[in-house]
Amino acid sequence: MEPNLSEHIRSCCKDEASFNSVWSRFQQLMNRCSKAEKNLELLESAIRYDYDSILITELELEDPGPTIVYVNDGFCEMTGYSREEVIGKTPRILQGPKTDPDVLKRLKLSLLEGKSFFGQTINYRKDGTEFVNQWDIHPLYNNEGEITHWVSYQHDITRRKRAEMTFERAAENEFDSLVENSKRIQVDFADDGSIIIGNHLFRDLLGYNQDEIRNLTIWDLVHDEDQARFRKAMETNQNGGEVIHTDYTIRLVHKKGMLIDCALDVQRLTINGKTFNRATVDNVNLQKRVIETLEKRNSDFLRMFKSKSDFNYGLDVSDEKHPRFAWFSEGFEEITGYEADHFTGPDGWKKLVHKEDQNLVRNHIARVLEGKSSTEEYRINTANGHYIRIIDYTRPDEDSNNGVINRLIGSIMYKVTEEKEA
């Protein structure tokens, strides 16, 4: 508290009695503010490892957008904005050219209906750099049950996305889905089976939204033939409180009627005096698909990553419409019969790549420009008038600055076949 504050307040009072009354009330208010600030710090500390950023806005959604009334330190760190710069503004200041309008449309429709929203899109920091923002937005209610504000819990998942892209290697959409859904799937339910909450992965697994899942019981989701043994296990758990592990498969029923083989770990928890069951679900169907997918790609990837490449190259993509080779490693001239300088000019890649495969290569480059590693098989021309088939594994240059990809690095494996030009 400022040392001269009491004197300032004293100067505003007509006498000592008035000062004592005002000063006493002022100290009470300061103590309340201090306590509220400590509670807020405690809350932020408790959820710091769950959320990078917390943002609270007023209710109004129409233009110019909801007004920001609170951000935590995590928001400032994540976006580069100070509190003073964003209070009174709209979260739309984080949007930019690559922000997905379809995601924003779904976000607005959910909030207009008073529903929570979970999603992700590209947002922009104060310095203009991109990051992948994952939202978890919920309504805040007053004592009359009316929505007054929206609270948005946010993650910067850029690194996670890049890690997933690196892990995928081939960067195929089907594998994106496998990686995303292989994370922990959980649902909380009461002893009578009523569902308290299922996380978004659980809802996605069974095809329900949050409102639908809350109107169901766990027994509505377990296949009829598996209910008896699961009920028996749950009754044992309620008495003993041990963790149940279903080493047998339980079939859960998708909203559309499909059966999903799952193994469940169920733990009985008591939080704030309320006891409930938390089930962690392993999707056995998914595990089989992951294994099959990995085995299918295993031989090609082992050859690509454990064998020595025939040659490497760097591709300058600072002008996305006209990528150009920056360099080739040793082995290029031996494989193609050309000197490297022959292809390092503008559109040199078109002279190297077989004309019928150039669209393949364009798409290959486009995937890497999105931050994904990519593998593609295509043909390149040789000096003797023939062409050869190669496998090209390409990744973004790790030295790219500020998340902007200016160069790609490729590793070429030569498939020992040679065909004459048609």
Q: Are 372 and 165 in contact (CB under 8 A)?
A: yes
What does 4-64 look like in DSSP terms, one character per residue? THHHHHHHTSSSHHHHHHHHHHHHHHHHHHHHHHHHHHHHHHHHTTT-SEEEEEES--STT
What average pLDDT does the structure give for the chain? 78
Q: Which residue's entry shows tokens 């048609």?
A: 422
157 or 75: which leads in pLDDT: 75
Computed from CA positions of residues 312, 317, 320, 323, in that sequence, does the dihedral angle turn out positive or negative? negative
Alpha-carbon gap, residue 213 to 216, rounded angstroms: 5
pLDDT tier, 168 (very low <50, low <70, confident <90, very high otherwise) = very low
Please give the pLDDT value at position 94.
92
258 or 33: which leads in pLDDT: 258
Please give the pLDDT value at position 419.
56
Please give the pLDDT value at position 45.
55
Residue 20 has pLDDT above 80, yes or no: yes
**CA nearest 318: which of 395, 375, 397, 380?**
397
15 burial level (CB within 10 Å; 0-12, 13-18, 19+): exposed
pTM of the complete model: 0.35
Cis amide prior to 66 (ω within 30 degrees): no
Tokens linked to 64: 């110019």
Residue 402 has pLDDT above 50, yes or no: yes
Residue 404 has pLDDT above 90, yes or no: no
pLDDT average, residue stretch 175-181: 44
306 or 335: which leads in pLDDT: 335
Eight-class DSSP state of 405: -
pLDDT tier, 243 (very low <50, low <70, confident <90, very high otherwise) = low
Please give the pLDDT value at position 50.
47
Q: What is the pLDDT of residues 285-303, one digit of tens each?
A: 666 665 555 555 544 444 4
Alpha-carbon gap, residue 120 to 161, rounded angstroms: 11
Q: Which residue's entry shows tokens 């992700």?
A: 120
**CA nearest 418: which of 332, 299, 308, 336?**
336
Q: What is the pLDDT of residues 92-130, one digit of tens each?
A: 999 999 999 888 888 888 888 888 888 888 999 999 999
Q: What is the pLDDT of residues 211-235, one digit of tens each?
A: 888 889 999 999 998 888 888 877 7
CA separation, residue 162 to residues 108, 157, 168, 176 (Å): 28, 9, 10, 12
With H, G, I as helix, E, B as strand and everything else as coil, classify residue 352: helix
CB-side neighbour CA atoms (13 Å) of 406: 8
Greatest alpha-carbon span in the chain: 105
